[in-house]
Amino acid sequence: MKWIEIIENEQQKEYYKKLKLIIDERYQKTEVYPPKEKIFNAFSLCKYENLKVVILGQDPYHQKGQAQGLAFSTPADIKNPPSMVNILKEIVDDIGSSQCLDGDLTLLAKQGVLLINTVLTVEDSLPNSHKNIGWEIFTDNIIKHISDNLEGIVFLLWGSPALKKSKLINGTKHHILSSPHPSPLSSYRGFFGCKHFSKTNEILKNRGKSEIIW
């Protein structure tokens, strides 16, 4: 199985055909992120057969040049947004160092970390602007597929919207680690100190899988 097969199967469904019409129109009429060719970047970089970890975000960064189709990640040459700053702080506090201090999480994706948002596109300066147009159905179906067809995946659910997805995941087959969101509004309520990165590696190690170089 490959992501392209799963995605193409979703694209045949009525909800996705309606979603595509909306998305195509908005890309034509306004500034939408990430660039259209990077909407499925998370799936391109994290191979299906390598999948170990799923990190779920809300929707892409909504300022120009930030979104690159990987949840929380930004290009290396721009300033890290606040949530990314807090994620990196927790990684360093948890395991002592990070290979992604520039904010580009491509290295994680290539090691088997699927970095997806519940909504895959957003309009300039308008967070949640593509909420409830169909992306949630798509990403819910991706999560369900992973839960039903794979085993031992570590799901990191940060914040209330992500935590709601736990109902889609078979907790007897997989591992769910949850905490408040890493944004400055909630990070001090339990994201800092959650130690999700060392805990994830401990789970992977116990399952005989290679650990993630965070």
pLDDT given for residue 95 in this prediction: 97
3-class SS of residue 196:
helix
3-class SS of residue 173:
coil
Q: Which residue type sits at 87?
A: I
Strand partners for 122:
33
In 10 A of CB 101, how many CB atoms?
A: 13
pLDDT given for residue 161 in this prediction: 84
Of the candidates 24, 59, 102, 140, the residue annotated as catalytic is 59
3-class SS of residue 183:
coil
- The span from the CA of 120 to the CA of 33, in Å, is 9
pLDDT given for residue 208 in this prediction: 96
- The span from the CA of 62 to the CA of 122, in Å, is 6
3-class SS of residue 68:
coil
Name residue, tokens 């702080």.
Answer: 89
59 as an active site residue: the answer is: yes
Question: What is the enclosing helix (H) or strand (E) of 179?
Answer: strand 175-179
How remote is the C-alpha of 14 from its chain's centroid? 24
pTM, two decimals, is 0.95
- The span from the CA of 175 to the CA of 53, in Å, is 9
- Between 14-29 and 3-11, two packed helices, what is the crossing angle to 10 degrees? 90
pLDDT given for residue 14 in this prediction: 98
For residues 64 and 168, the answer to whether their CB atoms sit within 8 Å is no
Per-residue tens of pLDDT for the chain, all 214 residues: 899 999 999 999 999 999 999 999 999 999 999 999 999 999 999 999 999 999 998 899 999 999 999 999 999 999 999 999 999 999 999 999 999 999 999 999 999 999 999 999 999 999 999 999 999 999 999 999 999 999 999 999 998 888 999 999 999 999 999 999 999 988 989 999 999 999 999 999 999 999 999 9
Pairing of strands 53-57, 175-179: unpaired
- The span from the CA of 105 to the CA of 186, in Å, is 22
